[in-house]
Amino acid sequence: MEKVPMRITYQRKIILEELKNLGNHPTVDEVYMVVKKRLPKISMSTVYRSLEVLSKNGFIKKIEPVDTQKRFDDNTSTHYHFYCKNCEKMKDAPLKPEMVKKLEKEIGAIEKIMEGNGYKVDGYTLEFFGTCKSCEQK
């Protein structure tokens, strides 16, 4: 979470305030809509940039997919993925089948707990990211 020079502008104060009011992980659009009530002239790009900066400086946390593009896999069995930020490829997580089995069981138990709490769990995604072996070797 590398810090970045950040000015405390009026817009950013309000965006942070309203984000906290909203609670539950709002989308940028949701933040925009409530902030606009107090700052009718604010633009979407300001909200985007401000949220980005606030998260880079550790005030808030960004929730975003490891990779936004759709991908398709000819292997239909359960396994986990590793996204390499360098070559931008999605690889199979380099794990032995017994490790995958173990994790699957572990997470399955967690799902049961959530079901017990009144949630209906259809599934989950677990993706790792970083630099893959072949990129790392260079």
Residues of this chain that bind its own copies (CB under 8 A)? 16, 19-20, 23-29, 31, 51, 54-55, 58-76, 81-82, 85, 89-91, 93-95, 99, 103, 106-107, 110-111, 113-114, 117-133, 136-137
Of positions 22, 46, 80, 89, contacts DNA by CB under 7 A: 46
Residue 132 in the binding site for DNA (CB under 7 A) = no
Return the one option of its own copies, DNA, none that residue 60 interacts with (CB less than 5 to 8 A, by type): its own copies
Supply 87's token pair: 């070559």
Question: Encoding tokens for residue 57?
Answer: 């400086």
Strand, helix or coil for residue 67: coil
Residue 9 touches which of DNA, its own copies, none (CB < 5 to 8 A by kind)?
DNA
Name the DSSP letter for residue 81.
Answer: E
Give the type of residue at 44. Answer: M
Q: Name the 3-class secondary structure at 91.
A: strand
Instruction: Decide which of its own copies, DNA, none touches 14; Cβ closer than 5 to 8 Å per partner kind.
Output: none
- Among 92, 45, 100, smallest CA distance to 71 is for 92
